[in-house]
A and B are shown apart, each in its own frame.
Chain A
Amino acid sequence: MATISAPHRHLLGIASLATEEIEALLETADGFVDLNRRSDKKLALLRGLTQINLFFESSTRTRTSFELAGKRLGADVVNMSVGASAIKKGETLIDTAMTLNAMHPDVLVVRHHDSGAVALLARHVRCAVINAGDGTHEHPTQALLDALTIRRRRGRIAGLTVAICGDIAHSRVARSNILLLTRLGARVRLVAPPTLLPPGMGPQYGVELFHDMRAGLEGADIVMMLRLQSERMQGSFVPSLREYFRFFGLTWEKLASARPDALIMHPGPMNRGVEIDGVVADDIDRSAILDQVEMGVAVRMACLDHLTRHLREAA
């Protein structure tokens, strides 16, 4: 079975993964889903290894998901958050890397508010690095868990029409998903007002652009909503919360133009009544939002497993 090959000591983005590597990670993760549903969830694959979750940007669900993933595989997991560390006292990112090296971790899970910061850190540490989200660049494990969710609910990804809706411009989730889903053969549409579409996004990324929800959702198999951050609702990118919900919020009315069995996804945390109507989000037949959380743990276990295999082989 393929695994993340030697040059990819790190998982920094979907862009640097080969298609076979993506497939291998999804296969492994699929196996961990069943494990996670058992009462005894513990494996010893990462026993003796140290995993540090280094979050320069606050996060609850992603950090918890990585923490659970590491613990279920038997690793010693330590959480470092920026507020409690020296970074706020002026330590540079490279200083942090040197400090961490001295602690001999085996895996670093890093989230940072600047695009490219995780890659910079990865160049200066001696262990595997997983990007848990860097700026508006990539969030590869989110894209992988979305792919796993779709595959388990629909049986495939190739040929499906996926509509990604909302704040694409500021979304690393959207960028990673665009890369991954187009690679696996899905037809990807982006639905947003032009102020929330990044410049230069279009056919060169293999995506179609829509400014109208009904047109963008027409015949879609998957409707993926993105979170709109509150500071962007106050008139700089969209005029107001109520206008955004009126034209770009997912309601039953707008969803009616998608396929009748279209699956609704959201990376969380949701703004009910902003990008999604709470009633739509809560429909268990249509909403895969909680599946996404479940798949997240399995996918992160798979990433940890693959990135530490060379250590186990060496031992």
Chain B
Amino acid sequence: MSRPFAFLGCRLLDPASGLDTTGGLLVRDGRIADLGPHLRADGLGPDIECIDADGLCLAPGLVDMRVRLGEPGSEHKERIDSAVAAAAAGGVTSLAALPDSRPPLDDPAMLEFVARRARKLKSVKVHPCACLTRGGEGRQLAEMGLLREAGAVAFTDGGRAVADARVMLRALAYATTFDLLVVQHPEEPALAAGGAMNEGAVATRLGLPGIPPCAEVILIERDLRLVEATGARYHLGCVSTAAAVEVVRAAKARGLPVSCGVTPHHLLLTEAEVEGYRTYAKVSPPLRTEEDREALIAGLADGTIEVVASDHTPQDQDSKRVPFAQAAFGVVGLETLLAAGLELWHDGRIGLLELLGAMTVRPAALLGIEGGRLALGAAADLLLFDPVARWTVTETGLRSLSKNTAFEGREFRGRAVRTLVDGRTVFAREDAAT
């Protein structure tokens, strides 16, 4: 094994335990061997490599619950290796891959194929999600039991909602057999059909077909009744409206096994981004109003929303340099997840531990995977970041094969300096001191 090493003098942040202190962290054989304020260079043996991390924050590596890898089927937009490189550069050490590829991941062999391809890279840990219904078509149940045995961490039709209430009821009921996590894309398909952006005054002025906000809350309210009937573990991949936050908050108060995610772009941007027909602001669910954005931030701060995930959706130029209504949905987000989240902290909207919790331990717990915490004996999946370094998002700076970021040209404060998976450095920023 490689030589043990320790990060010293950094701000240790562990959302799971509430730890927020200056100290050190020792990695031995890929695991966290010691951590805390007591770790100093003079107390460590000569065999240990000491890394001065003064002024930096050390947190668990991020866990991104929503990533499209591009493989199989869209290798011209993203490949597993490019997605993993982007993840590492963004401080992500574990990611859940969405199954809405071509072909979709609805078969144990296909799932194992993706997992094996990712494992060979010996980098960021890739946990595939599997389809909830066969082919992601919303008609027949997928082989959830066999897919779970093949390693599926959650079950979802990705960017498609299960439209048929009876299919959804049976899928939820069947999922309880194995206590599986069902992830829904909350958008009533009939109401959203043909829509390109948030329905409202802006869409009307631009002459674009709208996706009404009620499309989201209607599907959520339906599903919550089904969750109540079945007891299944249910997660909303990403919500976009104030109404959704309110409904989820009430459902949690009633004790339903419901959890909820949001993306950085919904937390920072509104439908105003669409002005000028900017297709890089075309996402699903669509960017909403300032009022909705405020409600999402409030929901994140009070724990109604427990996960921030990138919903990383690579699209090539041919998919975006077209009239708005024809453009594909989605933005890349792995490399801006941390920085975009830190904006809320810099603005005093959320505590640093709360923010990191939504990107580490809470998604890990929902997915039932290891990681997301700084604990003795845990895998050394670590994120060392500079919380204040200023940088500007540029297309050329992105490692993703696709450059469809919603944040191009935006200056952020804070970024990953070094990313470690099982104690191995999978990313180190060259211009950084450490």
Query: Which A residues are closer than 8 A to B by beta carbons?
Result: 193-195, 211-212, 234-240, 242-243, 246-247
A235 to B74 Cα, complex, angstroms: 28
A157 to chain B, nearest CB (A): 30
Which of B46-54, B171-179, B262-270, B396-404 interfaces with chain A?
B171-179
Q: Contacts of B230 on A, CB cut-off 8 Å? A: 194
Within 8 A of A (CB), among B114-137: 133-134
| Option from A234, A236, A240, A242 in Cβ contact (under 8 Å) with B170 | A236
Cβ-based interface call for B144 (8 A): yes
A194 to B174 Cα, complex, angstroms: 6
> Contact between A242 and B146 (Cβ–Cβ < 8 Å)?
yes
Using A235-B134, A236-B140 as known contacts, list a sample of 20 further A-B pairs with CB atoms less than 8 Å apart, ordered by residue number in A: A193-B173, A193-B174, A194-B174, A195-B174, A212-B177, A234-B140, A235-B139, A235-B141, A236-B141, A237-B170, A239-B134, A239-B144, A239-B145, A239-B174, A240-B143, A242-B146, A243-B143, A243-B144, A243-B145, A247-B145
A236 to B77 Cα, complex, angstroms: 35
Q: Contacts of B173 on A, CB cut-off 8 Å? A: 193-195
Cβ-based interface call for B142 (8 A): yes
Q: Contacts of B176 on A, CB cut-off 8 Å? A: 194, 211
Bitwise interface map of B from 169 to 192 toward A, beta carbon under 8 Å scored 1, else 0: 010011011000000000000000
> Contact between A238 and B174 (Cβ–Cβ < 8 Å)?
yes
Q: Contacts of A237 on B, CB cut-off 8 Å? A: 141, 170
Among residues of A, the one whose C-beta sits closest to the C-beta of B175 is: A194
> Contact between B174 and A235 (Cβ–Cβ < 8 Å)?
no
A71 to chain B, nearest CB (A): 45
Q: Contacts of B145 on A, CB cut-off 8 Å? A: 239, 243, 246-247
Q: Contacts of A242 on B, CB cut-off 8 Å? A: 143, 146
10 residue pairs of the A-B complex, CB under 8 angstroms, read: A193-B173, A193-B177, A194-B230, A235-B134, A235-B140, A237-B170, A239-B141, A239-B143, A239-B174, A246-B145
Among residues of B, the one whose C-beta sits closest to the C-beta of A193 is: B177
Q: Contacts of B143 on A, CB cut-off 8 Å? A: 239-240, 242-243
Q: Contacts of B134 on A, CB cut-off 8 Å? A: 235, 239
Q: Which 10 A-B pairs rank lowest in CB-CB distance, beginning with the nearest?
A: A235-B140, A194-B173, A239-B141, A239-B143, A243-B143, A193-B177, A211-B177, A195-B174, A195-B173, A247-B145
Interface centre among A212, A238, A246 (most CB of B within 10 A): A238
The B contact surface, by secondary structure, is helix
Bitwise interface map of B from 146 to 179 toward A, beta carbon under 8 Å scored 1, else 0: 1000000000000000000000001001101100
A239 to B108 Cα, complex, angstroms: 13
A248 to chain B, nearest CB (A): 9
Among residues of A, the one whose C-beta sits closest to the C-beta of B232 is: A194
Among residues of A, the one whose C-beta sits closest to the C-beta of B179 is: A211
A194 to B140 Cα, complex, angstroms: 16
A193 to B134 Cα, complex, angstroms: 18
A236 to B169 Cα, complex, angstroms: 11
A237 to B143 Cα, complex, angstroms: 11
> Contact between A239 and B177 (Cβ–Cβ < 8 Å)?
no
Interface centre among B145, B146, B230 (most CB of A within 10 A): B145
A136 to B230 Cα, complex, angstroms: 22
Q: Contacts of B174 on A, CB cut-off 8 Å? A: 193-195, 238-239
> Contact between A246 and B177 (Cβ–Cβ < 8 Å)?
no
Among residues of A, the one whose C-beta sits closest to the C-beta of B169 is: A195
> Contact between A243 and B146 (Cβ–Cβ < 8 Å)?
yes
B203 to chain A, nearest CB (A): 38
A268 to B144 Cα, complex, angstroms: 28
Interface centre among B134, B141, B146, B230 (most CB of A within 10 A): B141
Among residues of A, the one whose C-beta sits closest to the C-beta of B171 is: A195
Q: Contacts of B177 on A, CB cut-off 8 Å? A: 193-194, 211-212, 247
B141 to chain A, nearest CB (A): 4
A104 to B273 Cα, complex, angstroms: 84
Among residues of B, the one whose C-beta sits closest to the C-beta of A212 is: B177
Interface centre among A195, A212, A240 (most CB of B within 10 A): A195
With contact pairs A246-B145, A246-B146, A247-B177 given, residues A239 and B170 touching in the complex (Cβ less than 8 Å): no
Among residues of B, the one whose C-beta sits closest to the C-beta of A237 is: B170
A193 to B143 Cα, complex, angstroms: 13
A242 to B140 Cα, complex, angstroms: 15
Q: Contacts of B146 on A, CB cut-off 8 Å? A: 239, 242-243, 246
A246 to B143 Cα, complex, angstroms: 11
A234 to B146 Cα, complex, angstroms: 15
Q: Contacts of A240 on B, CB cut-off 8 Å? A: 143
Among residues of A, the one whose C-beta sits closest to the C-beta of B172 is: A194
> Contact between B170 and A195 (Cβ–Cβ < 8 Å)?
yes
A126 to B141 Cα, complex, angstroms: 48
A60 to chain B, nearest CB (A): 30
